[in-house]
Amino acid sequence: DGIPLILETINPDIWAEEIAWLKAQQTEKAVA
């Protein structure tokens, strides 16, 4: 799904923020 494996080692409490940021980056690239 394009999400780096590093997220698996990150505190689950911040997954939502990290994933939201990644999706934002992907959206910017798609728009650009």
Predicted pLDDT of residue 24: 93
Q: With the C-alpha atoms ordered 13, 18, 20, 21, is the resulting torsion angle positive or negative?
A: positive
> Domain span at residue 23?
1-31
Q: Rounded distance, CA 22 to CA 14, Å?
A: 12
Tally of domains within the chain = 1
Contacts of 1 by beta carbon, 8 Å cutoff, 6+ apart: none
pLDDT on residue 13: 72
Q: Mind listing the pLDDT tens digit for each residue in 1-32?
A: 566 666 666 667 777 888 889 899 988 888 86
- pLDDT reported for residue 17: 85
pLDDT of 16: 82
Residue 7 has φ and ψ, to the nearest 5°, of -60, -25
Q: 22: which 2 tokens?
A: 């990644």
